Structure 1
Amino acid sequence: MEDDIAVDPDYYILNEDHSPEDFNSETTSLASEISKGRIENGRRYQSMKENDYWSPADEQQFESLENGHILCLVLDHHQKNPLHRAPISSSPKHILDIGTGRGSWVIDMADSYPSATVRGVDIFPPPVSWMPPNCVFEVDDILREWTWRKPFDYIHIRILLGAFDDAGWSLAYDRCYKGLEPGGWIEQVEFDINLHSEDGSLKPEHHLSSWGKNMIACGQRAGRPLTTQSTMKAAIEKAGFVDVHEHVYKVPLGPWAKNDLLKEAGRVNYLVWTSGLEGYAMWLLTKFGAPEPWTKEEVHVFLASVRKELSDPSIHAYQYVRRVWARKPTEEDSKAKGETKTPEVDIKVEK
């Protein structure tokens, strides 16, 4: 079963309405050695392996992730629980968040579902000083063999563009499939880094117009695809999940939309970009820029131009955000179809 992707045409009309002032637990496992990280171009990166992840793990990037968390809550504020779309039970027991970042989603879910142990796992520890007693943070690589003893009712993934290569994503979804209870749900939210405009205000000569194409090309050269939002649905289906749903949001970049909700979403999205811009670009451009890797100074000059465009109220840019959720089949599903699941095959990933 599949939801219609088309959004309410009246709700998502991106008319402009701008003014310049619009811009004005069980246990806690935190690895202190990893938290030290490594420093490149003035930004801190996790330290498990140099090529583990292209995005920094420092306070500036955590600010961008927090803004991303708030943006998702704004977009789904009308849902019964804006933290997820998957129809999980009212009293789940075990929940996992992969790529937990700052940990805000995990903390909010632990508050929402006191019956559950909510685990957040990442390759670097989140900067948290307090958490609910049913909240657990762990530093680990989810591509390694999972050692959790209890299967999960629900697994959540968000903003992990570039986290893995194609084989890594296949392995990640396979791990999720095996780690879920029959009938359990997986849900993923990813942002499209390409920008668009409906009124022609985003012109070909703008840096924002070519931003997505440039970053995607760097990601391809790095072996870290930045197009996950367009491939995750098919990959989740391929892993064996059923009852797959998809919802696409149209999110303004900046507070130029007339609709109050979209104006607020655009304002928050502007903060996502301005707080995360350097972190998105620095590693990719200094290592995989074309025609040759850029210098740190060249990146800073480029980003100054991008920031100027971001603050230009005459540019009415928007991007897509995609949410996919799907269920692990039960024995009843297989019996109803007269099928059995294809035997699972181990997937090897180049380290």
Structure 2
Amino acid sequence: MTNKRLKIVVDPDVHLLTNPDIDDFQSETTSIGSAVYRGVIENGRRYQTLRENQYWAPADEQQFESLEAGHAVAGVMDGERPNPLFQAPISKSAKNILDIGTGNGLWAIDVADILPEATIRGVDLFPPPVSWVPPKCILEVDDVLRAWTWSEQFDFIHMRFMLGSFNEGEWDKLYKKCYNNLQPGGWIEQLEFDAHIESDDNTLPKDSMAATWGETILGCAERATRKMDTINTMRDSIEKAGFVDIRERAYKWPIGPWPRDKNIKEAGLLNYQMWSLGIEGWGMWLLTRFGEPKPWSREEVIAYVAKIRGELKSTDVHSYQRARRVWARKPDNDPGQK
């Protein structure tokens, strides 16, 4: 993979590629762009190539379906709000919004629908699987740890499901980039979930496979220098970057249809879908590279996650995962810098 900078603006019909640093635009850019769209196949899963060997989650149809279910869970869990997409007090007059780690682009697309006057940019390491986007919704492939080339400052920067994306230094760098590229008074918001599977009534046996998942996968992530405790560190990291008026909301996202409340039961069903579709991808790269006492085989990973799926499907197991939303403001009197 070339070390030259590649920035792809994703047009669902055209797939426009732009790269001012490459002399032979037609041949070299198209070649690199094609490689980005193809990705790399490992253990039967497709991964992005923009930051090769540096991101653990697949970018394939199954993983995008998991993200779609996760998007729905987040919406149901904040379904009592007029706007379940974010809690930062964003004005309808906002002009520029950035969605980092846009994944399948659903959050950016939905926000573009409710804020049609704003330009919504969604950026990730792999092209989202979209066939249509609203006007003023722009989905891009780029590495946010590189220099930002957007000319405008943003009114709002959003992140979601980014655990394990960066090491501690990279997170600090990213939060500072967000701070410097926000308008004075602009907001940042991040929603993350915990890798641990829990229950409050001991219906999840301690010797179950599901009970081992959290510590197993967090251990792999730490050995990969991509710690997955973002849910616990993001508030302090956001404050460290200079943000003020920090607020948060904690959740328990049920896994499976066990809750009695109709809406929470719906969230549980959707969250089981997210886990059922996503868990193999969450574990495959990490376990086959950083598993203990030695790297696991693909077959071992598949057998492990199959057992966890079966345990989570039982209505006798009242399992959930923790999630947290944090939002904060850039001070009005600090213009920041590029």
State the TM-score, normalizing by the size of structure 1.
0.86
Could you say which residue in structure 2 is the equivalent of 1:131?
133
- Cα pair 2:160 2:190 within 8 Å, conserved: yes
Could you say which residue in structure 1 is the equivalent of 2:199?
197
Structure with larger RCO (C-alpha < 8 A, sep 6+): 1
1:113 to 112, 115, 121: 115
CA deviations on 1:25-64 (whole Å, 9 max, x unpaired) are x984564431110000000000123223100000000000
CA deviations on 1:49-89 (whole Å, 9 max, x unpaired) are 32231000000000000111111110111112111000011
Could you say which residue in structure 1 is the equivalent of 2:294?
292
SS of 2:191's equivalent?
strand
Could you say which residue in structure 2 is the equivalent of 1:172?
174
C-alpha change, 1:177 and 1:291, in structure 2 (3 Å) is same
- Cα pair 2:51 2:125 within 8 Å, conserved: no
Could you say which residue in structure 2 is the equivalent of 1:276?
278
Cα separation, 2, equivalents of 1:320 and 1:271: 16
Share of identical aligned residues, percent? 53
Cα separation, 2, equivalents of 1:306 and 1:68: 18
SS of 1:204's equivalent?
coil
**Equivalent AA in structure 2 for residue 299 of structure 1:** V
SS of 1:181's equivalent?
strand
Cα separation, 1, equivalents of 2:206 and 2:74: 29
- Cα pair 2:10 2:127 within 8 Å, conserved: no
SS of 1:187's equivalent?
strand
Asked if residue 327 in structure 1 is aligned to residue 332 in structure 2, the reply is no
SS of 1:267's equivalent?
helix
2:190 to 188, 191, 194: 188
**Equivalent AA in structure 1 for residue 117 of structure 2:** S
Could you say which residue in structure 2 is the equivalent of 1:315?
317
Give, in angstroms, the shift of residue 90 of structure 1: 1.3
- Gaps in structure 2 of 5+ consecutive residues: 1-8, 18-32
Could you say which residue in structure 2 is the equivalent of 1:264?
266
Could you say which residue in structure 1 is the equivalent of 2:224?
222
Could you say which residue in structure 1 is the equivalent of 2:249?
247
Could you say which residue in structure 1 is the equivalent of 2:147?
145
**Equivalent AA in structure 2 for residue 127 of structure 1:** P
Cα separation, 1, equivalents of 2:325 and 2:52: 30
Could you say which residue in structure 1 is the equivalent of 2:65?
63
Could you say which residue in structure 2 is the equivalent of 1:14?
none
Cα separation, 2, equivalents of 1:303 and 1:76: 29
**Equivalent AA in structure 1 for residue 258 of structure 2:** W
- Cα pair 2:255 2:320 within 8 Å, conserved: yes
Give, in angstroms, the shift of residue 259 of structure 1: 1.4
C-alpha change, 1:27 and 1:289, in structure 2 (3 Å) is closer
Could you say which residue in structure 2 is the equivalent of 1:46?
48
**Equivalent AA in structure 2 for residue 102 of structure 1:** N
Could you say which residue in structure 2 is the equivalent of 1:236?
238
**Equivalent AA in structure 1 for residue 124 of structure 2:** D
CA RMSD of aligned residues (A): 1.7
Cα separation, 1, equivalents of 2:163 and 2:266: 24
State the TM-score, normalizing by the size of structure 2.
0.89
**Equivalent AA in structure 2 for residue 100 of structure 1:** T
SS of 1:96's equivalent?
strand
Cα separation, 2, equivalents of 1:197 and 1:262: 15
**Equivalent AA in structure 2 for residue 65 of structure 1:** L
SS of 1:305's equivalent?
helix
